[in-house]
Amino acid sequence: MKTVMSRRRFAAAGLAFGAVVAVAGCSSSPSSGSASSAPSGTYTVWDPYPQFDNSSAWVQLLDKCGTAAGVSVKRTGFDTTDLTSKVLLAAQQGAAPDVLIVDNPVVSTLAQGGVLTDTSVTKVDTSGVEANLLAAGQLGGKTYGVPIGANTLALYYNKSILGAAGVDPGSVKDWASLSAALAQVKSKTGKKGITFSAIGTEEGSFQFLPWFWGAGAKLADLSSPQATDALTLWSTWLKDGYAPNSVLQDTQTTSWQEFAAGGTAFSENGTWQLANAKKTGFPVGIIPIPGKDGGTAPAPTGGEFVTVPVQSDTARYATSEKLVSCLTNADNAYTTDNTLSYVAATDAVQQKQVAANPDLATWVTAVHAAKGRTSDDLGTKYPKISQPLWTAVQAALSGSASVQSALSTAQNAAKSAAN
């Protein structure tokens, strides 16, 4: 996920879509409406990477893929928060780009709005993509793009604090052993046990989901016993002093800053902090987020999909497919995913990444267990569920409502909003 943004961007790869809206109507290219001949000339690509200029490896890759396809590429980079509204408007005006790279939670919104072409039409090959990652771009049995890579969440830990507390990070296998480790950190060192982001935005939901899903809860039922277990866990950590009250206001960035200050044993955060972990001044390790009863908890995926918007000139799809395939093939995906601090979407490229950087092994494990927020065919229902969920987390952690009351209110709100 992108951490919400100033490019905190690669963290939340789907955080800033909050107020997504679907449009009726579809897009078309400003080129002729004839599908009788394969077009050539210029193809437009829109992406959420405005920080990359024409000298960057990313833009050079786009140019290379265009040359290989026999066309020129005109690329425009938008801030993530602007890209969705821009493409919705462009689709209504018949001016959608040929290729669109967009945050994974937005794919279902654009698909439902008739903006995107599914892969059965474009002939984009998705056979090598990890099924759990591809699911974020699926709706109604159709697939609307290819993930360019993924990021997700795990637990960073301060080796010095755990050593002083006598905690073996390898012993953390489930919630009970994690809570025991946090208690030991507090009693032996006086340090905080864990920091995370419980802010009242999509970032808060994003960070809560591994515990929610790790308890076996489902987004269709926010007030289930499993959901209650997850929110009780977080609430108990605050009451027992294992986590700071600042989590209520912390973004993923400010939460990381607290961990980097050296006074906290664990930090829930993402792949995008790997480089920063080497700058903390203390040794840092990483473990997957444990499920309630063991195993790796499903964490939500961030990352973008490469998609093909609907065009009136359907002959353009053949070249668009060449561009998508070039951008996502193994060699190019390896370079791009390393640039974006993503784990690749295919097993072959993941293995290559780990061979080059063993620190990524934990992240590959986390990505294998991860799932998209709009998976389970939730699609555009997700933001209507997420807002009541983060509101419940805020209410329970602040003490303004009990865990059960907060979740019951959330379920009623989500059910009402989805109907």
The DSSP string of 201-252 is SHHHHHHHHHHHHHTT--TT-TTSHHHHHHHHHHHHHHHTTSS-GGGGT--H
153-158 sheet: strands from edge to edge: 192-195, 264-270, 153-158, 284-287
Q: What is the pLDDT of residue 6?
A: 32
Q: What is the pLDDT of residue 404?
A: 97
Q: Which residues of 233-256 are buried (b: 16+ CB within 10 A; e: fewer)?
A: bbbebbeeebbbeebbebbbbebb
379 within 8 A of 112, measured Cβ to Cβ:
yes
Q: What is the pLDDT of residue 81?
A: 78
Question: Is the predicted pLDDT of residue 283 greater than 70, yes or no?
Answer: yes
Whose tokens are 């700071």? That residue is 244
Taking the model in full, what pTM does it have?
0.86
CA dist., res. 280 & res. 230, Å (int) = 30
Rg, Å, the chain Cα set = 22
Give the residue-averaged pLDDT of 122-139.
94
Domain residue spans of the chain: 15-151+302-369, 153-299+378-418
* Residue 338: pLDDT band with limits 50, 70, 90: confident
* Residue 80: pLDDT band with limits 50, 70, 90: confident
Q: Is 140 left (phi over 0), alpha (psi -120 to 50) or beta?
A: left
Q: What is the mean pLDDT of the chain?
A: 89
Residues in the chain, total: 419
Structure tokens of 373?
Answer: 């927020």
* Residue 4: pLDDT band with limits 50, 70, 90: very low
197 within 8 A of 246, measured Cβ to Cβ:
no
Please give the DSSP secondary-structure letter assigned to residue 3.
P
Give the residue-averaged pLDDT of 364-373.
95
Give the residue-averaged pLDDT of 245-259.
97
Q: For residues 221 and 32, which has the higher predicted lDDT (pLDDT)?
A: 221
Q: What is the pLDDT of residue 40?
A: 64
Identical fold between 15-151+302-369 and 153-299+378-418: yes
Q: What is the pLDDT of residue 60?
A: 94
Q: What is the pLDDT of residue 82?
A: 87
Q: What is the pLDDT of residue 37?
A: 46
CA dist., res. 239 & res. 407, Å (int) = 18
23 within 8 A of 88, measured Cβ to Cβ:
yes
Q: What is the pLDDT of residue 19?
A: 35
Q: What is the pLDDT of residue 24?
A: 26
* Residue 316: pLDDT band with limits 50, 70, 90: very high
CA dist., res. 403 & res. 387, Å (int) = 16
Cβ partners under 8 Å of residue 219, min gap 6: 212, 376, 378, 382, 385, 389
Q: What is the pLDDT of residue 151?
A: 93
Question: Is the predicted pLDDT of residue 97 greater than 60, yes or no?
Answer: yes
Question: Is the predicted pLDDT of residue 135 greater than 60, yes or no?
Answer: yes
At residue 40's C-alpha, the angle toward residues 34 and 42, to 5°, is 110
Q: What is the CATH number of domain 15-151+302-369?
A: 3.40.190.10
214 within 8 A of 298, measured Cβ to Cβ:
yes
Whose tokens are 């009541």? That residue is 388
CA dist., res. 304 & res. 302, Å (int) = 7
Q: What is the CATH number of domain 153-299+378-418?
A: 3.40.190.10
Q: What is the pLDDT of residue 1?
A: 52
* Residue 164: pLDDT band with limits 50, 70, 90: very high
Question: Is the predicted pLDDT of residue 23 greater than 50, yes or no?
Answer: no
CA dist., res. 378 & res. 104, Å (int) = 13
297 within 8 A of 369, measured Cβ to Cβ:
yes
Give the residue-averaged pLDDT of 6-33.
33
Q: What is the pLDDT of residue 14?
A: 34
Whose tokens are 């809560």? That residue is 208
